[in-house]
Every structure is written in structure tokens, then in C-alpha cells.
Structure 1
């Protein structure tokens, strides 16, 4: 009896499926085509991830060979860029014809949408000839696309800047603070703060002023604000390559502390400064007095509040690990440490730290000072310093090893991924604009700005400093920073989307 009921149920279900297929065959055909489209998109995404994974594998093997052979004539980060260039050229000119379909949608004065900026999502009513009914598809906002790539693989090889700022950047900055040699860092803290804060500001105005003067002579349309913004972005030094060589050569600890300390702090200073310039330049393109002082106020306010958020989260983690028995469970202890540290970045990004001001002064699309994750960078940097100074001593032996190893690994992979991506994006990024005159004057301005940063400030510091900064230290500070400024210029030029995603 039960068997007969099951058979009848199976027959009924089979009949209903057949009837549904018979009366809705066009719709089913559309679903199959959509599934194929989803699968093809998934395949392309997997191919691009695989591509960068193989690039990282090749970079790791290269680093091992260089360390094994003790080769110092070319650093592994340079080869990572070269590998990326080769792969980018192959992607660009390999002849792959995986096309990307486009449909130009022109709004016709929809009264329901009057916002001056584009909508967050677009609902497209698509009329498929084989479908039994019209369907609506959602498309998310990605940003302005002056030109569209016709190759889907090349298009997807250029990743979303949010991946850079929210995934790749936080572990690099946190690792810089967490791996800090605290004794020598705090011993040279005055000089480090001078170079990072005052020196970066000097470099910003020197570079911006020289570039603006040159562009004014040739009659360019760039404003003083644009040139200052370029000066702020290009004045950040991140001497990854130089510090790696310093570690191999075992240079003087004070020199290492000065170069390292300046690099990890002036990244945040330059980005906060660029956000202030971007947000509070007047509509005419110059600085008004009130806007200038408001920019300084917001710079100090944002930096101070970001420092407070990072330090507070670091101290909270230290107290949790000190006054609880978390060390009895190393896995939970390490997990809490990582989550608290990363939440610092997100907390600072979610917080509105901008001093209220006249909205008409704001040139960007955001009212926040930072369009470039500056608050999160400052917060996670000082969180890392506090975690190293306080929390690390409260962790169990297993958690100390685990957290150190984890962030060293994330830092290594993120940095090398970025170097590989710089090379790939030289061919896959579609908005290059080469200007030999601008590039030449930019190089000269970078050198002059770096010179005006290091040597005058070193002379002033030596008046009351013991021990004094020797001339060879000054030269090394100058050259190590100038070399990485050129790298920043190449990154800025090869993928401006990474550093100016909200620009005009």
C-alpha cells in the first residue's frame, strides 16, 4: 500500500515537471543561458585569482633563490614588478577574445530620481525574445568608466580599489606597528615625528609648488589644489625594498629606526593631508584663509581621534588578555587578537571624524576628510604599536608565535601582491595618460622636495640632539625616501584608481 502511494506521488511530480517544461520552455532556455553566463563569470574570476596566485608562487621561489644565492644586485620586489609586466603584456596582447557585452542606458528625466550623483544600483528591465515575461536585473555602481575594455579577462584583472584599502592595506600597516623595535623607535621618536609630520608637509608644498609653477608656465589647466594633492600623495615614503635590504645588511639600529619610523608614519600623514586638501579646497581652485585653517584643524582632529581609537582598542585588548584566562585557550586568544585589531580599522573608517564645516567648501563627493582610508590607516598603525607594547606580553607563548607569524605572512603576501599588480596594471589599466614634460618636472620636484625635507630638518634636530644625525644617515634618509617616492609615482601613474578613487 505504501509502495503504491510512493509510485503515484512520483508520477504526479514527474507529470508536473513535464507540464512545466512544456509550457515554460522559453523561460527555461533563458535560465540556462543565465546559468552559463554566471558560470563563465565564475570561471574568469577563478582564472584571475589563479593568475595572481601563480605570480605570488613565482615571487616566493625567486625570493628563496635570491636568499640562497645571496644575490643583492636586484631585489625580489623588483622582479615581482617585472613578472607582473610580463603577465600584463600577455593578457593585453595574447589575442583572447572573451568579449564583454555593453548596453548604454540613457535616463529620460525620471522624476523619481533627482539626486545629482548616480544611483547606487540600476534595475534594468530586460526584454528577452524567448522569455515568457520581462525580467529585471540589478547592476551595482562601480564608478565612472571613460573607456570600456573589450576583453573580460583584462577587465577583471584590474580589481576593485576597495579590495586594496579594506583587505590588502590593513595587515601591511598593522604589521608595521606590531613588528616595531620599540626601544630604538621611541628613542628616536622626536626625529621620526619631525620628519613624518613637518617633513611630509614641507615636501607636499615644495612638490606641489614646483609642479604648479611648471604647469602655470606652459598654460596647463591644473589648479594649485590639484598640484598640492599630487604633492601630498607622492610625499609618502614606504621603503619596503630599502628596509628589506637594511635587514639583510644589519645596518645601524638608529638608522633603521629613523627610516622605518618615518615611513610608517608619513604614509598616514600624507593620506590625511591629501584628504584635507581634497575636501577643503575652494571651488575656485585656490586656498581661502578659512578653508586653509579648517584643513589644518581637521588634519589634527582626524589624526588625534584616529590615534585615540587605535590606542583605545589596543589597550582594551591588553586588558582582556591580562585579566581573563584566555591564555588557557590559545586559539580563542589569537582569534580575539586578530578580530580586535582588524575591527580598529573598520571602526575608524565607519566613524565620522570630520569637524563640521560649510558643505560648499567640499569639492569631493564625500564630506569626510579622508577619501583614502586615512582614518583607518592611522588607527590600525597605532593599534599595532599598542598591541606590541602591551598586549604581546600578556599573550600565551602559542599566541605570540601565531600572531607574529600570521601578520608577517599577511604582510608578505599583501606587499608582493601589490608589486605584482603594479606590473600587471601597466597593461590592463585602461586610462593611462603619458606626459613626458609632467613626468620630468615631477621627478625633479620629488628630489627637491625630499632634499628640503631631510637636510634642513636634520640640521635643526642636531642642534639639541644627542647623538647627532651624521651626514651619511642624512644621505641614506634622502636616497631611501627618494627611491620609494619614484615607486609611488609609478604606482600613482599606473593605477590612479588606487589612490584617487573619489577625485574629479
Structure 2
């Protein structure tokens, strides 16, 4: 059997496995909801079944894997003399000359690169419809009324959370050194800040799924969803700034700080403009042409151009999530007026289906990688400190900022709202996509492992406890305008 045929069969098998996982997740959650069991939602079920698939792939041996092992030989002495390796296969002899020292981290780099590429494809396909649908169906009047609060939580809240988590984790790593669980140079303060930046951003995918299932108060929905989307831009800037930080620099570099502020504002403004540009193009096409005579065509145009806002922003180094968020908001305000009645219905239903399936596929992938990634590093003290620090950091920015915002708000953020916001800091796909980009050191492998465990914990435990918490806090629930 040729290599190309085998590759096609493996690709088909992978797609079939993903579809089977989606079907099993949908049927399982549907059955649970029939029994009024709301402690498990689609994202939690998808991650669970992804873990089961990872277990099967990791511990079951296939013929292809065994065949590969028979043709792979490791040469641990390749970095030493002599620099010639003789390999005898059947009746033929092959000679290989070593021309340079092998990088001991090369296997990690390649693994990281492969997984990042696969995840980029997954996020580019399924993440835009999720964010667009949330923005497209959002109550715009409430969003504008709460815009100042949303920006405050997204910008200042993420900064507070990043440094709070970083400081807590740095203290934990010092304790690990004292207990002999880590060497002195294994975890630097920069690594701890990087972990803080990665895990400080709440995840819009899991937040939207949670809010949709619970039908929370519309103002609370706006605050949580708006914050979770906009702080993605802050997390991206913080991650970039910390990753490129030079340890030889002083602890505080004013020029680097001002550059980070300018970079954040540039990404935010550029992303807004990118989303609005594609809205203008869509609105003009649907208004100046007769596309409304064919609902199928006008729905396809809205879908493709809205998707392009996300991809164009990503290709330009901007925030695709912010771009597609603003595109969804503006499409719902302007373009929808030019669509036929059938086109409006089709557009909404199409994005709803893509959003639903996207949540399942993304979290199935996260569960799968949790079991199959070959370089996990489990540090019990680091993980315990991370779990504690996310609650501390969430409380340290929700309550003080709410107190300050209430000084100028006519409709105050109630204590019950604050308690639920502090509780509903779910982590997920966004934090995972940032953590998996670099796994070349033990510290970064620990960050990836801990991030995946945090995502699973917040989705399964906090997500399951959200409904009982709403009732105990006596927060009014409303049906969203979807």
C-alpha cells in the first residue's frame, strides 16, 4: 500500500473519529438534559470523550505504529566520534555522515510545531462562528451601556490577574526549590508571568456555552461575555511581551512598557477596523445587488465575509476574536437590514449550528491532547498553586474594580453579580492555544500541562456548579433573545 493511500486512510479515520465523538457527545448531553441533569454541558462532555479517545490511541497498539517502530533506529552516540554511522539493511549498506551537532530539543520543537499547526487549523475553522454567533445575537443596547465596565474588566482586570497569578506561582516555585522538587533555574519569574498571562484570560467559548445553557440575566451575560472576548487581545499582547523579554534588561523597562501599551491599543483598534471593513463590504454587497432574491447566496456571502474578518486579522497580526466580535455586532446592526426574511433566519441558524459543533470539536481536541501529548510535566505543588492562584486573582480584580465602577454606574453591579463573575472565570481554548505554542523547556511543558488541567477543572467543576450557584445567589434568569 502506498504512502499516499495510507495517509488518506488515516486522515479519513481521524475525521470519522471526530464526527463519532461529536455524535456521542450530542446524544449523551441530550439524554442527560431529558432527565433535567444540567451539571454536564456540551463542552464538558466533548472534553471527556476526547480524553477517552486519547486513552485508546495512547494505550492501544496499531499495526501502523509497530511497522514504524521496526524502521526507526536511534543513535545516541551520534554527537560523539566517529562521525560516520553504518547502517546495513538487507544486502545493501548505507553510510551516513554526521555534519553537525543535533539539537536535543529538536524533537520537542517539532512536536510542538505539529500540534500548533493542527490547532491553528481547528481554531481558524471553528472559533470564528462561535464568537460571531455570540456577538450577532447579543443585546447591543446593553452591550453599549456596559461598554465602559467591559473594557475595565478586560484591560485592567487582565493585568491585575496576570501579575497576581505570576507572583503567586513564583512563590510556589521558590517553595519547590526549597523542597528539592525543582532546580533553582528551572522556573524563572518570567516563566511565572508567562503562565499568568496565559491563564488570566477567561475563555469566550466556554463562557458563551455556559451562559447560553443557564440563560442568565442579560446584563450579567453582557459583562461576562464582553470581558471574555476583549481580554483575549490583552492576553495576546502580554504573552508576546513576556516571551520576547530579555533577561538582561532591568526589571522595569519604560520603553518596553510603553511599547506594550501601544501594541495593545494598536491591536485593539486595528481589530475593530478590520471587523468593520468586512461589515461595510457585506452591507454594500447586500444593499446594492439583488442577492436578497436568493437567500442561499446572501447567507453564503455573509458567512464567508464574516469568516474572512477573523482570518484577515490573524494574518495581519491582530486579534481575530476581537475582529469577528465587532464584525458580528455591526453585521447585526447594519447588514441584517438588507437581508430577506429567509436570509436572516438562515444566517442565524447556520452560525448557530457551526457554533455548536465548534465547541464540541475544540474541546474534544483539548481532551485528546491532554492524554496524547508526549512531554507532559506534572508538578503537584505547581498545579495546586495554580488552582489556588486563579481564584485569588479573579477575586482581586472583580471586587475592587466593581467597587470603582459602581461609583459611576446608575445601575450598580450587585454583590450577587460580583460573586458569580468571580466564580465564572472559566479557562479553555484561548489559554490552551497560547500555552501550546512553545513547549521546548520543562517550565513551558509544565505550563501546558497545568493549563489543560485548569481548563478541565473549570469546565467540569465550576461549570457544573454554576446552575446551583445562580439559584443560591437568587440571580434572575432570562431567556436570551436568540
1:214 to 149, 155, 172: 172
Higher relative contact order (CA closer than 8 Å, sequence separation 6+): 2
SS in 2 for 1:53: helix
Distance in 2, matches of 1:257 and 1:421, equals 28
Which position in structure 2 is the counterpart of 1:160? Answer: 118
Task: Give, in whole Å, the separation in 1 of the partners of 2:298 and 2:170.
Answer: 52
In structure 1, the partner of 2:372 is 428
CA distance 1:436–1:449, shift in 2 (3 Å): same
Shift in Å, 1:215: 2.4
| Residue segments in structure 1 that go unaligned for 5+ positions in a row | 1-34, 109-126, 132-142, 150-154, 352-369
8 Å CA contact retained: 2:42, 2:359: no
Q: Which residue of 1 aligns with 2:52?
A: 86
**Contact 2:310–2:321, Cα closer than 8 Å, also in 1:** yes
In 1, the alpha carbon distance for the partners of 2:357 and 2:337 equals 26
Aligned 1:477-488 pairs, distance under 5 A: 477-481=421-425, 484-485=426-427, 487=428
Show the 5 A alignment for 1:316-331. 316-331=281-296
1:125-204 mapped onto 2 (5 Å cutoff): 144-146=106-108, 160-204=118-162
Alignment partners' CA distance in 1, 2:405 and 2:155? 14
Question: Relative to 1, partners in 2 of residues 1:156 and 1:130: Cα closer, same or farther, differing over 3 Å?
Answer: farther
* 2:351 counterpart of 1:407: yes
State the Cα distance separating 1:411 from its structure 2 match: 1.3
Q: Map of 1:279-358 to 2, 5 A cutoff?
A: 279=244, 281-284=245-248, 286-351=251-316
User: Counterpart of 1:119?
Assistant: none
What is the deviation of 1:238?
A: 2.1
Structural mapping, 1:184-263, within 5 Å: 184-216=142-174, 218=177, 219-238=184-203, 240-241=205-206, 243-263=208-228
Q: Identify the range of structure 1 (447-456 vs 220-229) with the bigger mean alpha-carbon deviation.
A: 220-229
- Listed as ranges, the matches of 1:26-105 within 5 Å are 36-99=2-65, 100=68, 101-102=71-72
- Taking a change above 3 Å as real, the CA distance of residues 382 and 242 of structure 1, as seen in their structure-2 partners, is closer
User: TM-score if structure 1 supplies the norm length?
Assistant: 0.73
Structure 1 counterpart SS, 2:284 = helix
Counterpart residue number, 1:387: 331
Q: Could you report, residue by residue, the CA deviation over 1:110-155 in whole angstroms, capped at 9, with x for unpaired residues?
A: xxxxxxxxxxxxxxxxx99999xxxxxxxxxxx9533999xxxxx9
CA distance in 2, matches of 1:235, 1:465: 25
Secondary structure of residue in 1 paired with 2:319: helix
Distance (whole Å) between structure 1 residues aligned to residue 311 and residue 41 of structure 2: 33
Measured in 1, the distance between the counterparts of 2:210 and 2:310 equals 29
Aligned residues: 407
Q: 1:169-215 deviations in whole A, cap 9, x for unaligned? A: 22222223222221222221111111111111111111122222332
| Higher alpha-carbon Rg | 1
Query: Which ranges of structure 2 fall in alignment gaps of 5 or more residues?
Result: 79-87, 93-104, 178-183, 445-482
Structure 2: distance between partners of 1:435 and 1:383 = 42
